[in-house]
């Protein structure tokens, strides 16, 4: 009995000594970042998370769209009609973005940075002012597109001076994949990476999967409770584009930062679009795809299902401008909706 008691006490003490979850938060990419690692000693965890946050800060500073950065230096050169040599990293990011833009029929296109700026979204606070109509029409007529970019090694040029790159709909996804790689290199295989609602899961939270909530785009309708919850599996990433964080209103009409390259105006037909990516493919990381793919589907409006099928997106949820909820069968099977008797339109 004495040895049995000592054995049970040893088990209890071992359980108590098991490392607790370690969390670090920061403000990067213009949003709140939260990192959680599980079952790693606190010192090792903070060292790893510090490395991740330093990489986030480097990416943010290097590719900021309107504060002086390597990206703004490139945009200045393109506007002046000059070829410009960039880092190998930036050249690779541009090439990947150009490929993804082509796949999405250019509804995702980082080359529309001047349109984003014209609508006032190159600022920390957004003024309720519509752009000059003549300036907008001129810029739309110029048709800035990443298809106009020529990449020769690390040298970038274009014949269209209206092109300006903005990685706002792309860089958070890149950062998710970078974070996952850095954590795995340090032997950390259980973590949750959250960059302003773009989330990637590694492993599990102890004996349970990581669980995340999907925000309703009009949160007051749910009492600020999530629209639905979802268990993320190892390596999965989820991203949402919405009209409820970066926006302003004029005469009761909402204008969000998601610009339709065809019209040059903010997309109006969608409140929120969520995509779950179960694995990276075609050489693109799951984090990058979870960030990028929400943009063209948000902008596509009612025709989003056919574009989702063409892009290989099986797990998606859309809340349209009237607040109606549409969800693919694959994602509906994974979601737990928090409101009873909520009308759901199933998309096959």
Residues 242 and 144 both lie in one domain: no
Whole-structure pTM over 0.85, yes or no?
Answer: yes
> pLDDT at residue 5 above 80?
no
Torsion of CA 307, 311, 316, 319, to 10 degrees: -30
Residues 220 and 259 both lie in one domain: yes
Assign residue 238 the CATH number of its domain: 3.10.520.10
Read off the pLDDT of each residue in 98-104 and give the average, rounded to a whole number: 97
> pLDDT at residue 17 above 80?
no
6: confidence class by pLDDT, cuts 50, 70, 90? very low
Q: Tokens at residue 327, please? A: 């969800």
Assign residue 120 the CATH number of its domain: 1.10.3980.10
Residues 295 and 154 both lie in one domain: no
Q: Which of 158, 182, 206 is the last residue of a domain?
A: 158
- pLDDT number for residue 342: 87
- pLDDT tens per residue, range 205-257: 999 999 999 999 997 766 778 999 999 999 999 999 999 999 999 999 999 99
Give the structural domain span for 34: 22-62+190-347
Helix (H) or strand (E) holding 47: helix 42-62
From residue 257, alpha-carbon distances to 124, 131, 136, 165, 242 in Å are 12, 13, 15, 15, 9
Q: Please list, in sequence order, all residues whose beta carbon lies within 8 angstroms of the beta carbon of residue 220, skipping any fewer than 6 positions away.
A: none
Beta carbons of 167 and 115 less than 8 angstroms apart: no
Residues 245 and 200 both lie in one domain: yes
Beta carbons of 278 and 286 less than 8 angstroms apart: yes
How many whole angstroms separate alpha carbon 43 and alpha carbon 280? 31
Residues above pLDDT 90, as percent of the chain: 87
How many whole angstroms separate alpha carbon 9 and alpha carbon 17? 12
- pLDDT tens per residue, range 60-89: 999 999 999 999 999 999 999 999 999 999
Q: Per the domain annotation, does 132 fall within a domain? A: yes
Beta carbons of 244 and 272 less than 8 angstroms apart: yes
- E strand spans, 108-209: 149-152, 155-158, 191-195, 198-202
How many whole angstroms separate alpha carbon 163 and alpha carbon 251? 31
Read off the pLDDT of each residue in 311-330 and give the average, rounded to a whole number: 97
- E strand spans, the chain: 22-28, 31-37, 84-85, 149-152, 155-158, 191-195, 198-202, 210-214, 228-232, 237-242, 247-250, 253-256, 259-260, 265-266, 270-277, 316-320, 325-328, 335-337, 344-347
> pLDDT at residue 10 above 50?
no
How many whole angstroms separate alpha carbon 307 and alpha carbon 312? 9
- pLDDT tens per residue, range 118-147: 999 999 899 999 999 999 999 999 999 999
Q: Which of 113, 137, 158 is the last residue of a domain?
A: 158
Helix (H) or strand (E) holding 7: helix 2-17
Residues 210 and 336 both lie in one domain: yes
Q: Per the domain annotation, does 165 fall within a domain? A: no
Residues 200 and 339 both lie in one domain: yes
- pLDDT number for residue 18: 55
Residues 46 and 110 both lie in one domain: no
- pLDDT number for residue 221: 66
- pLDDT tens per residue, range 186-200: 999 999 999 998 999
- pLDDT number for residue 19: 60
Q: Provide DSSP, 231-256.
A: EEPTT-EEEEEESSSSEEEETTEEEE
């Amino acid at each position: 009995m004495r040895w049995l008691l000592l054995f049970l006490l040893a088990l209890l003490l071992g359980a108590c000594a098991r490392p607790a979850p370690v969390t670090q938060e920061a403000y990067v990419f213009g949003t709140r970042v939260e990192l959680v690692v599980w079952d790693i000693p606190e010192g090792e965890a903070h060292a790893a998370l510090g490395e991740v946050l330093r990489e986030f800060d480097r990416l943010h500073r290097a590719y900021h769209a309107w504060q002086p950065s390597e990206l703004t230096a490139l945009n200045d050169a393109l506007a002046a009609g000059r070829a410009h040599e960039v880092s190998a990293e930036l050249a690779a990011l541009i090439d990947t973005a150009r490929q993804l833009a082509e796949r999405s029929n250019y509804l995702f296109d980082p080359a529309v940075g001047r349109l984003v700026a014209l609508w006032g979204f190159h600022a920390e606070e957004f003024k309720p002012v519509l752009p000059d109509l003549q300036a907008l029409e001129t810029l739309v007529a110029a048709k800035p597109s990443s298809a106009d970019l020529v990449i020769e090694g690390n040298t970038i040029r274009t014949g269209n001076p209206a092109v300006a790159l903005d990685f706002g709909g792309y860089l958070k996804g890149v950062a998710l994949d970078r974070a996952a790689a850095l954590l795995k290199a340090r032997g950390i295989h259980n973590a949750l990476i959250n960059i302003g609602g773009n989330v990637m899961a590694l492993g599990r939270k102890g004996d349970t999967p990581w669980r995340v909530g999907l925000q309703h785009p009009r949160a007051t309708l749910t009492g600020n409770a999530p629209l639905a919850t979802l268990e993320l599996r190892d390596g999965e990433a989820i991203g949402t584009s919405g009209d409820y964080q970066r926006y302003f209103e004029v005469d009761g009409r909402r204008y969000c930062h998601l610009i339709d390259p065809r019209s040059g105006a903010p997309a109006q037909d969608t409140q929120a679009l969520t995509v779950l990516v179960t694995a990276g493919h075609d050489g693109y990381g799951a984090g990058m795809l979870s960030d990028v793919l929400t943009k063209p589907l948000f902008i596509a409006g009612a025709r989003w299902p056919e574009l989702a099928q063409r892009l290989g997106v099986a797990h998606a949820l859309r809340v349209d401008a009237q607040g109606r909820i549409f969800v693919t069968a694959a994602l509906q099977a994974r979601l737990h909706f928090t409101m009873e008797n909520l009308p759901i339109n199933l998309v096959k």
